[in-house]
A and B are shown apart, each in its own frame.
Chain A
Amino acid sequence: MKVDIGPVTRLEGHLSIHTTVENNVITEAKSVGEMFRGFEVFLRGRDPLDAQQITQRICGVCPYAHAIASSYAQENAYHLNVPPNGRILHNLIQGANHLYDYLLHFYQLSALDFVDVTAILEYKESDSDLIALRDWVNAETGSKSRFPAAPFLPRLSGRYISDTQTNILALKHYIESLEIQKKANKASAIFGGKFPHATAIFPGGCTQEPNIDHIASYRSLISEVHDFIHKKYLPDILAVAGQFPEYWHIGQSRGGFLSYGLLPFGPELDSKRLFAPGVLLDNTIRPVDFDAIREDIKYSKYSSPSGLTVKEGELTPSTHKPGAYSWVKAPRYQGKVMEVGPAARILVDYRQNNNPKIKQLVDKFVGIAGITVDNLNSVLGRHLCRAISAVVIADFLLEETERIDLQAPFMAEYDLPESGEGFGATEASRGALLHYIKIKGYKIEKYECVVPTTWNCSPKDDRDQPGALESALVGTRVENPEEQIEANRIVHSFDPCLACAVH
């Protein structure tokens, strides 16, 4: 039978999955991106310095990642000399944005796939937030409303956590995390100007000077987030894993892993990064080559040529193209399907022994869970890899503030060139993010973005290979084929952002 499980909620944007289910097993899954804006077209002819502003509006969940990728691309195009403080401020802004995004993803976007909200009705203790929640759910479910306790109910049928204490603690942390994510965003906004959509990030630095007033606030906010990550976020993931251990083995993508590396240690973009870049394919790590990326469009709603490199990118929409089922293109690396995101970021780093802290954390938690490193390619693996990333990033950010030189410049000086081109590659919270800018006559001649969810939620390519998410869904057993909570859990583990994917 064929079932569309869209619109899939608790993710960014407009995603549907068209599934075929036989004997309660998904035999085919089509990832369908349902919204298009065409950034790469309307960026042409604009001032290059508009780019880090306009491209942030690709995604209001991870705008800072786009600002950073665009800034990197422009730095390359302008041949900028970036002051060390400039890069440190970029890192402080981007790193804090990752922390908020991981918390938002686990608690607001994913937790309701596992946690039983109705358990709150059994709450008998004295926490004021939980009492308020209990009384509200009670009043709602007792009212005549046809949809009581929305948006937390109704929900899909399936098994939820049965242990009341675990549920109640998770609900408490759902509420608390909303306060903590604000602290991470306040921290990044100190140097970004505001969140979402920072105005203070530029190629070569940011316009807010780092002084003790700013740095002390930043450190204090990040310390609170750091504590929450250790005391609540990590334990909560392990608690969910304890109740749903089968999800270490569900949702496995069938391709390679790609990461561009995150948070450079020095002002030069080829500096060693906190998370190493690389391509992990057939158990072998290779360096990233941007020219090995091609975007197929056989099943995407475009009539422009298929298989173009990033530099060649074109975009001609064709809404009724026969056979096309998504606005998302299908990027492939040397023709291979790639998963990007937290699991890719961690695996690519781990296989290179780049960051000892990552190795130590992976080994520790793989041991606790009783799984292998390869099982990080799974629903729970992606959640765990986000938490490991959060631990590593939070520690790094606190150290990074100590490297600021209060007397030194924090913005590059520039004289914009008449022409130039450059790539900017970083890791958004959702994975490998690449921007490319080509400037001619002081204007943007070409701008291309290959975005994390473009990889993960891609449709089939020209050789009919399904995308990473599509491949992870096939073979999944679903109890209720009409609703497929299992498929929803897999989709959510990738944290799709469709505004990013299509842009």
Chain B
Amino acid sequence: MIDRREFLKMAACLSASFGITQFPGIVHAALKKIDPANVPRLLYLQGQSCTGCSISLLQAESPNAVSMITQFSKLSFHADLSATSGRQALNLIEEYISGRNGEYFLAVEGAIPWDMPEACVIGNKPFADYLTAAAKTMSGALAVGTCATHGGIPAAEGNLTGAVSLKEFYKRKKIDPLLIEIPGCSVHPDWVWKTIIHLVQVGLPELVNGQPKLFFSRKVHELCPRYHDFQQEIFARKLGEKGCLFKLGCLGPDTYADCPTRWWNGGQTWCIDANAPCIGCASPQFAAKKNFPFYRSFEQAASRISEDNK
């Protein structure tokens, strides 16, 4: 039996172990107008990625992927879809990055291996070199997915490549481009495509911590249809049970994303509706620490946290 005060204590305890020391304030970014007539040309490059975000982008419903790449944006290059290949593809990329082909937005999926540039190469050149060169010519960059926004799985504790996010990469390079971050492992297709539509039709969306406020202003827990279960203390005791999943390790209380209202795969389902605890895939600390497993009983989590604090 826990009351609200006790829950908040537990949530704060989780937050601390998840690396969130303070709750983010809302940052109002300046609205940079982009001419709606000038549909952004997207140069989509992949770093240390699994292509899951790209595959997710193909699951879009309204508008669907074909409309997005022909009407709402111009997908100049994407390694999974482009007919071009090899030297011809490298030339196309080079035309954009050199600035010879006019304005474009860079979309980056995947992390960047800071300590081992050879761990991600496109056409005999480190991926990092493309990012550095593009920073001089691009209108802005879209970090697609948790690998690109926070390092994600490639940056998990104990990784050998020193994987970093796009923001961290540019920070270390002392470059400060216009950057929109869309976390999620994978991203929800709406989060990316509708950010692009916002860019086309309105301009830069309002950002909270670099992420579009439209999708990332509230926590999964706040929006969760099982909030009532939580209040009534109807908790799932083991995997496969219904009820609030908090005591199995659900990270809804620590994750900013609108999954509970948006749902996934065309509104067919989403994690918690399938009784699967939120694993915080859109969270800055997703999968970061070995001693913070995805599935925990609260007692287990609490004891590990106290061990860490010793």
Contacts and interface: CB of A to CB of B under 8 A. Distances in A.
| A and B are partners in one complex rather than unrelated chains | yes
A154 B88 contact: yes
B123 A53 contact: no
A267 interface: no
Contacts of B88: 154, 156, 483
Contact of A200 (B66, B153, B275): B275
A403 interface: no
Interface stretch (B21-29, B46-54, B198-206): B46-54
- Per DSSP, chain B at the interface is loop
A8 interface: yes
Contact of B119 (A53, A57, A319): A319
Interface string B51-82: 11111101101001110011100111111111
B279 A199 contact: yes
Contacts of B70: 132-133, 136
A63 B51 CA distance: 10
B265 interface: yes
A330 interface: no
Nearest to B292: A47
B128 to A, nearest CB: 12
A153 B77 CA distance: 10
Contact of B84 (A132, A155, A186, A194): A155
A38 B155 CA distance: 10
A181 B58 contact: yes
B122 A60 contact: no
Given A49-B293, A317-B119, A8 B86 contact: yes
Contacts of B90: 7
A355 interface: no
Given A7-B89, A38-B159, A200-B271, A179 B84 contact: no
A267 to B, nearest CB: 16
A194 B287 CA distance: 18
B74 A150 contact: yes
Contacts of B119: 35-37, 317, 319, 327
B67 to A, nearest CB: 9
Given A47-B293, A49-B295, A192-B274, A57 B121 contact: no
Interface of A: 4-14, 16, 34-39, 41-42, 44-47, 49-50, 53-54, 57-61, 63, 104, 108-109, 112, 117, 129, 132-133, 136, 145-147, 150-156, 175, 178-179, 181-182, 185-186, 189-200, 202, 205-209, 217, 301, 317, 319-320, 327, 409-411, 413, 482-484, 488, 499
Closest 10 CB pairs of A and B: A60-B52, A47-B293, A411-B240, A193-B274, A199-B276, A194-B264, A155-B83, A207-B275, A208-B274, A60-B50
25 contacts: A14-B120, A35-B47, A37-B154, A38-B160, A42-B156, A42-B158, A44-B158, A47-B294, A50-B293, A57-B153, A112-B83, A133-B70, A151-B84, A154-B83, A182-B58, A186-B265, A189-B264, A194-B264, A199-B271, A199-B276, A200-B271, A200-B274, A205-B240, A320-B118, A499-B49
